[in-house]
Structure 1
Amino acid sequence: MFYRALSETTFESTPHTAGPWSAESQHLGPPTALLARALEALPAAAPSMIARITVEILGPVPVTEVEVHAEIERPGKSVELLAATLIAGGREVVRARAWRLTTSDSLAVRTDDGTPLPAPETGRVMLRPDGWGAGAVDAMDWRALSGGLDIPGPATVWARQKYPLVEGEEPTGLQRLMVLADSGNGVSGLLDPREWFFINTELTVHIRRYPEGEWLGMDAHTEIGEHGLGTAFTVLHDRRGPLARGAQALLVRPR
């Protein structure tokens, strides 16, 4: 598991949460999913779904005990704004806001999802590149259709969690989605991480439907401008086809 629940709001982080650059700091996928879990748990007066989550990264997340708090920031009958924070060492390190919308029957006007990716079984097994630390990367099964963590440039990959987000719980589709969504920058990186920083300061995911099944796909690419700014764009899939889109603002500079 990525976390062990100590109380309703407090969690012990396991080594599976560690990022590739330091065993002391978490990859942002697990904390993002933990915030999504808290947002999902907020009571709703009517059937509803989260349509957008924005995660602001305020600082490194240490591999330690963390607290998560969530609230309905702006209640409403049809549209609600939710908020959640993750605290480590007494300091807020990640903040999330989400729009939750009531659901209705729009099947008659539903647009086509788009072309599904080839199945994960057709991809090559993708292992952690040399120089990357164990932790969250090794906590996923990876299958690359093109590009990948070990190949600079655009990438199309599948991934599956090996472990639950929280001990003793089956992850929801939204939690699985948010564990993976922060990896768009990593799989589609254009630059050598030994020579360049390309750090995302946030993650925004727009969701059309929740994913089904354990395997989730990413079709990602990165764009870099001339002033040290970049953006990683990701289309997220399940076996049915595309279901969400993510974007990450990047700080790009030489080491």
Structure 2
Amino acid sequence: MANEPFFTIDGTHYVPTPAARGPWNPNSLHGRVIAGLLGAEIERLHGSPDFMPARLTVDMYRLPDLSPVEVTTKVVRAGNRIKVIDAEFVSGGVSAGRATCQLLKRTENPAGNVWKPEPWVVPAPADIPPPTDGRSGMGGMWATRRIAGDFGTVGQKRLWMSEVRELVDGRALTPFVRVAVSADFASPFANAGDNGLEFINSDVTVYLHREPAGEWIGYEVVNHGATDGVAIGECFLYDEQGPIGSATCAALAQRRMARS
């Protein structure tokens, strides 16, 4: 990818680039790069082809600045059918987030049929023109193809998303990392309304029954609720072959800081 990556490598640390800035504070990281790097390090250090990363939960309890980042991991359980890995996101020597990933042994599905939602019938990304209004994703942080609804509207929202840059310089995006680095999008997509986005998410959880095939991931808002400034949001996730899982989040009422 020709675009600037979100992180470069300096020894054991990851150095954020300007592309990693978030929307809430001009001197802080975007939640997507926190979740993405935690997921990427878990997969890089502990993943294997015979295990499926079925759940990734990321807690984001401090808004990190642009200091160099270190990610540490710990094996909680390494069984024959289940692995559980913890990881910590340390920015400038201060813990800013953590993740737990559950990896399950791949095997064969049992016989029989189980209810599932109707197929997601939408246009393919190649059949949808790119946005012409400059809203392709925070000035080029990602690429989108809008299917239905948009930010600033209250109706059902669906879109395709694709990454346009590496998470870490020199490391190709794996299917799992594509999901991990995009999953934070569930919060603004589900929690934005006719006044824009006024919730900042404190976590994100991804459930996957398979990894995506191809570069495009579909997001469909299926739930939002908010009381006393605390919100939840949920999206179903798809690739061009069909459903792959879901992304859920909790969020707090928040206002943006002005950019200088």
Q: Which residue of structure 2 lines up, in the alignment, with residue 35 of structure 1?
A: 38
**What is the 5 A alignment of 1:55-74?**
55-74=58-77
Cα 1:191–1:73 change in 2 (3 A) is farther
Correspondence 1:170 to 2:172: yes
Q: Classify 1:77/1:44 alpha carbon distance in 2 versus 1 (closer, same or farther; 3 Å).
A: farther
Aligned partner of 1:121 among 119, 126, 129? 126
CA gap 1:71/1:226 in 2 versus in 1, 3 angstroms: closer
Residue 28 of structure 2 corresponds to residue 25 of structure 1 = yes
Whole-Å separation in 2 of the counterparts to 1:186 and 1:66: 25
Aligned residues, how many?
248
Counterpart residue number, 1:11: 14
Question: Structure 1 stretches of 5 or more lacking a match?
Answer: none
- 1:123 Cα deviation after fit: 3.2
Q: Is the 8 A contact 2:42 2:87 kept in 1?
A: yes
Alignment of 1:1-255 (within 5 A): 1-7=5-11, 9-43=12-46, 47-106=50-109, 114-126=119-131, 138-188=140-190, 189-193=192-196, 197-252=198-253
Code of the residue aligned with 2:250 in structure 1: it is A
TM-superposed CA distance for 1:25, in Å, is 1.2
Contact 2:137 2:144 in 1 (8 A): no
Using the size of structure 2 for normalisation, the TM-score is 0.85
The structure-2 alpha-carbon separation of the partners of 1:237 and 1:23, relative to structure 1 and needing over 3 Å to count, comes to same
Question: Aligned partners of 1:137, 1:175: CA distance in 2, in Å?
Answer: 21
The alpha-carbon distance between structure 1 residues 136 and 10, as it changes in their structure 2 partners (threshold 3 A), is: farther
- From the superposition, tell whether residues 43 and 202 of structure 1 become closer, same or farther in structure 2 (CA, over 3 Å): closer
Q: 1:120 to 1:249 in 2, by over 3 A?
A: same
Deviates further, 107-116 or 142-151: 107-116
Residue type of the alignment partner of 1:37 = A
CA distance in 2, matches of 1:253, 1:181: 20
Contact 1:18 1:135 in 2 (8 A): no
Distance in 2, Cα, partners of 1:140 & 1:102? 32
Shift of 1:176: 0.5
CA RMSD after TM alignment: 2.6
Name whichever structure is richer in strand by fraction: 1
Separation in 1 of the partners of 2:156 and 2:90? 33
1:33 is paired with a residue of what secondary structure?
Answer: helix
Letter in 1 for 2:243: P
Query: Which residues of structure 2 form unaligned runs of 5+?
Result: none
Task: Name the SS for the 1:183 alignment partner.
Answer: helix
